[in-house]
Amino acid sequence: MAIEWFLVLSALLFTVGFTGVLVRRNPVVILLCLELMLSAGALALISFSRLHGDGDGQVFVLMVLVVAACEVVVGLGLVVAMFRRRIPLDVDAMKELKG
Amino acid sequence: MEAVAFFVGALGALGGAFAVVFLRNPFYSVLALVVHLVFLASLFLLLQAQFIAAAQIVVYAGAVMVIYVFVAAYVGGIEEPMFDSAPQLRIFGPILAGLLFIQISIAVLGSSLMGLGSQGVEQVEAGFGTPEAVGKLMLEDFMIAFEAASLLLLVAAVAAIVLAGRKKQSEGAG
């Protein structure tokens, strides 16, 4: 398969994740959609790594994995804290965060 | 044969992604993301990134998704209305997403112009994408990034305990 198929697929996956962040309100699902966007970025990095025959992109994907894991841990910690304090799990309900 | 593998992987990954966004129960969304990640790992195999594919399944679809399943079960499956976001987002969200797709496509295709229509370099060096090659790169060329990543993981672990840990009664609910 030519490389551009993978690149367009990664753009499409990123777009789906982006739509999810915009239209969903549950913070857990929003975190899942962020994961979608990160994994789309990983697919693009691996495609470019294959395109140039250079392993640097693959190391970069491992770093993305680490950052994604950190984001999950902190984000889900926030969700658990919200649940404990009986704050409704709805990002639109957190109006005080508006600047 | 390779095309069949690509389209199976691509349809699975896309289907998983759409299921994450459009399923109402967050618990099912998490399971859909696991499906998405497994199919994505098959695409990584097509791109000769064996180690990343294995790491994706073990670390991501295995360990990280367990945390998600735990939290989704802990906070309970809240059935939410499909598109209950602000009405302006319901209209502009998909439009913005479409524009973003066009823009990203131009960007990624523009930066790979020399490789359009090709499968990349004809002959990757032996051992490309194996744990040996990736580990050598990471511990020799990207040592500082590796150390920074480990520090970041430590900070995130501490942050999770601070955020989700049980507060003492004297400190109040704050």
Q: What is the pTM of this model?
A: 0.88
> Chain B closest CA to A53's CA: distance in Å?
5
Residue B42 — very low, low, confident or very high, per pLDDT cuts 50/70/90? very high
> Looking at this protein, which amino acid is placed at residue A25?
R
Task: Give the distance, in angstroms, between the CA of residue A42 and the centroid of all CA atoms in the same chain.
Answer: 10
Q: What CA–CA distance (Å, rounded) separates B173 from A82? A: 11
pLDDT digits (tens, 9 = 90+) for B80-105: 655 555 677 778 888 888 999 999 88
d(CA B74, CA B159): 19
A32/B20 Cα distance (integer angstroms): 7
Contact yes or no for B36/B12 (Cβ under 8 A) = yes
What's the mean pLDDT in A24-40? 91
Cβ atoms of B26 and B72 closer than 8 Å: yes
Q: Which CATH class is domain A3-87?
A: mainly alpha
The verdict on a CB contact (< 8 Å) between A77 and B164 is yes
Residue in A6, A70, A79 nearest the CB of B71 = A79
**Residues of A in Cβ contact (< 8 Å) with B72:** 28
Opening angle at CA A18, ends A12 and A21, nearest 5: 150
- CB-based contacts of B85-92 (< 8 A; 24+ apart in sequence): B85/A22, B85/A23, B85/A24, B85/A25, B85/A92, B86/A92, B89/A22, B89/A23, B90/A23
Residues A44-97: pLDDT tens digits? 999 989 888 888 899 999 999 999 999 999 999 888 888 888 777 777 777 776
Where are the domains positioned within chain A? 3-87
- Residue B115: pLDDT band by 50, 70, 90 thresholds? low
How many other CB atoms are found less than 10 A from the CB of residue B174? 5
pLDDT in tens, B19-40: 999 888 888 999 999 999 999 9
A1-5, B68-72, B145-149: least confidently modelled range: A1-5
Please give the average per-residue pLDDT across B134-159, as a whole number: 91
What whole-number percentage of chain B has pLDDT above 70?
85
